Amino acid sequence: MDMIEIIRKKRDKETLNKEEIEYFVKNYTAGKIPEEQAAALIMAIYLNGMEEEETKNLTLAMAYSGDVLDLSGLGNVVDKHSTGGVGDKVTLILMPIMAALGVPVAKMSGRALGYTGGTIDKLESIPGYRVNLTEEEFESQVQKIGISLIGQTSNLAPADKKLYALRDVISCTESIPLISSSIMSKKIAAGAGSIILEVTCGDGAFMKTKEDATYLAKSMQKIGSLCQKQVVAVITNMEEPLGYSVGNICEVIEANRVLKEGIIEKDLKEVIFTLGAYMLQLAGKGEDISKNKEQIEETIHSGRAYQKWLEWIEAQGGDIQYLQNPDLWEKANYQLEIYAPKEGYIQKIKARAVGEIVGSLGAGRQTKEDVIDKEAGIVFYKKVADKVEKGEKIAQISTNKKEMIEIAQKQLLEAIEIGEEEPKKFPTVLDIIE
């Protein structure tokens, strides 16, 4: 086959057949297709889209580009994935809760895709935490303590691993066929029986509208159905950052506080309790969603979720002293508190702008080779609809880039809108698609 002809077809809005898609995936994974040709095809897909059959074929080609795990021996494994946002530390909190409730957690997560680190980058902020377990170690840990979370292995959906990084650096992340095939290929390869999806929408998400998020969710459900996977999607609002922190270490600290002390911001709680309730349902641990949320509440306040968190992190080499005493975390060289310029109510905290600011502070990647600054981030002391007084502390910026501190201060104040009228607070969970 001719790669140039494949690029031309998609450039000219023609449909790629199964053989052409498999040729591209196989040979790009093997390093036989140059990066510039792969980038050209991905850009053409981004601009012109894919039909349902093309998306399915791309998903399966990526899923079967390497090993496909069989986790049926571990019980009813329910995987979880989020399309991402700003301040998304949900996995860190939700997974130990599920494990404490008897749902086996065998999860592979990714690195940064955009503004800040991915779940794996955040876990690597914990000194000693091992993200690269063998498949045998991975499954053995789940059998022993009920939970393991590792990076995507080189042998599991390796095509997606390469394409995921490529999309990031050529600004082709916001594409429904590419997002849905990327997510579902990993889920199929990782062997989960059922899947819960958080599909974010709004200013800080890839999908800007609820309609687009719903379209993406249904696209992934169709792929799951073709592969005999039960998929539930939760549509969530990402107009403001989720929770109080955006960054790597600061999000781990927030997650730890939720599990240790039960202190959780309202929007973060709404997402975690909804996702968790449906995970319990998919795992056969409870049909009543309201009662499932009560189980989650009890698991946090009894301390069982926190103990599972410590057990999980320690099992993968993490130094749990940092979780037991968060003052041990290293601080960024430069910190600046941000104060309200006037009295009023917070009208908006623009999620996308905050994400871009935190990325510029060093918490994200611009190229595949960039090293993340785990100490960089922003912690908020106020959320949308909160009342503030003039001069009251509303946020804190942390960075090791001295040249960025004043720029970030100016940009953050522009991203936080304060007005006289108390705004309407919109729900965080917008829809459930079963």
Over the stretch 195-246, which tens digit does the pLDDT of each residue have?
A: 999 999 999 998 899 999 999 999 999 888 888 889 999 999 999 999 999 9
DSSP codes joined into one string, 288-343: -HHHHHHHHHHHHHTTHHHHHHHHHHHHTT--THHHH-GGGSPPPSEEEEEE-SSS
3-class secondary-structure state, position 389:
coil
Residue 344 and residue 317 share a domain: no
Burial 222-238 (b: 16+ CB within 10 A, else e): bbbeebebebbbbbbbb
For residue 370, give its domain range. Answer: 331-419
Residue 349 and residue 293 share a domain: no
Residue 288 and residue 144 share a domain: yes
pLDDT band for position 113 (50/70/90)?
Answer: low
Nearest to 283 by CA among 80, 78, 63: 78
Give catalytic status of residue 81 as yes or no.
yes
Q: Which residues fall within 8 angstroms of residue 84, CB to CB, at 6 or more apart?
A: 113, 114, 200, 205, 206
Q: For residues 306 and 248, what is the distance between their CA atoms, to the nearest angstrom?
A: 19
Q: Mean pLDDT, to the nearest integer, of 75-80?
A: 90
**pLDDT attached to residue 114:** 62
Identified catalytic residue from 107, 161, 186, 308: 186
368 pLDDT exceeds 70?
Answer: no
Q: Mean pLDDT, to the nearest integer, of 182-192?
A: 87
Q: For residues 238 and 308, what is the distance between their CA atoms, to the nearest angstrom?
A: 29
Q: Which residue has the tokens 């107009």?
A: 239
Do residues 159 and 29 lie in contact, with contact meaning Cβ atoms separated by under 8 Å?
yes
Q: What percent of the chain has pLDDT over 90?
A: 79
Residue 198 and residue 82 share a domain: yes
Most confident of 131-140, 271-280, 364-373: 271-280
Q: What are the structure tokens assigned to 416, written together?
A: 């936080």
Q: Mean pLDDT, to the nearest integer, of 288-299?
A: 98
**pLDDT attached to residue 112:** 61
Q: 60 lies in a domain?
A: no
Identified catalytic residue from 167, 365, 374, 382: 167
323 pLDDT exceeds 80?
Answer: yes
Q: What percent of the chain has pLDDT over 70?
A: 98
Q: Which residue has the tokens 């992340």?
A: 173
- The more confidently predicted of residues 75 and 86 is 86
Q: 426 lies in a domain?
A: no
Residue 99 and residue 232 share a domain: yes
The predicted model scores a pTM of: 0.90
| C-alpha of 340 from chain center | 30
Give catalytic status of residue 181 as yes or no.
no
Domain boundary among 280, 307, 324: 324
**pLDDT attached to residue 271:** 98
Beta-bridged to residue 388, according to DSSP, are 344
Consecutive H or E run containing 178: helix 176-190
For β-strands 429-433 and 230-237, DSSP reports them as: antiparallel
Q: Return the minimum-mean-pLDDT range out of 108-112, 161-165, 234-238.
A: 108-112
Q: For residues 407 and 429, what is the distance between their CA atoms, to the nearest angstrom?
A: 33
Average pLDDT across the chain, whole number: 93
Identified catalytic residue from 160, 168, 203, 267: 160
156 pLDDT exceeds 90?
Answer: no
Q: Mean pLDDT, to the nearest integer, of 100-108?
A: 94
Q: 254 lies in a domain?
A: yes
Residue 106 and residue 228 share a domain: yes
Q: 348 lies in a domain?
A: yes
Q: Return the minimum-mean-pLDDT range out of 61-70, 248-257, 285-294.
A: 61-70
Q: What are the structure tokens assigned to 96, written together?
A: 């130990």
Q: For residues 42 and 32, what is the distance between their CA atoms, to the nearest angstrom?
A: 16
Task: Outline where 191-246 has alpha helix (H).
Answer: 210-226
Domain count, the chain: 3
Q: Which residues fall within 8 angstroms of residue 217, CB to CB, at 6 or more apart?
A: 197, 199, 233, 235, 433
CB atoms within 10 A of CB 208: 15
Residue 37 and residue 104 share a domain: no
Identified catalytic residue from 81, 187, 260, 374: 81
Residue 263 and residue 128 share a domain: yes
Q: 34 lies in a domain?
A: yes
Q: Which residue has the tokens 């390869």?
A: 189
Beta-bridged to residue 106, according to DSSP, are 148
Longest C-alpha distance within the chain, in Å? 66
For β-strands 393-399 and 334-339, DSSP reports them as: antiparallel
Give catalytic status of residue 186 as yes or no.
yes
Q: For residues 25 and 23, what is the distance between their CA atoms, to the nearest angstrom?
A: 6
Residue 7 and residue 94 share a domain: no
Residue 191 and residue 87 share a domain: yes
Long-range contacts of 355-358 (CB under 8 A, 24+ apart): 355/86, 355/114, 355/115, 355/116, 355/204, 355/241, 355/246, 356/115, 356/411, 357/408, 357/411, 357/412, 357/415, 358/86, 358/115, 358/116, 358/246, 358/247
CB atoms within 10 A of CB 186: 24
Domain boundary among 298, 324, 350: 324
Residue 162 and residue 229 share a domain: yes
In a 10 Å sphere around its CB, with 0-12 CB exposed, 13-18 middle and 19+ buried, how is residue 166 labelled?
Answer: middle
Q: 265 lies in a domain?
A: yes
Identified catalytic residue from 182, 185, 245, 398: 182
Q: 63 lies in a domain?
A: no
For β-strands 230-237 and 194-201, DSSP reports them as: parallel
Domain boundary among 324, 340, 373: 324
**pLDDT attached to residue 197:** 95
Residue 392 and residue 256 share a domain: no
**pLDDT attached to residue 359:** 92
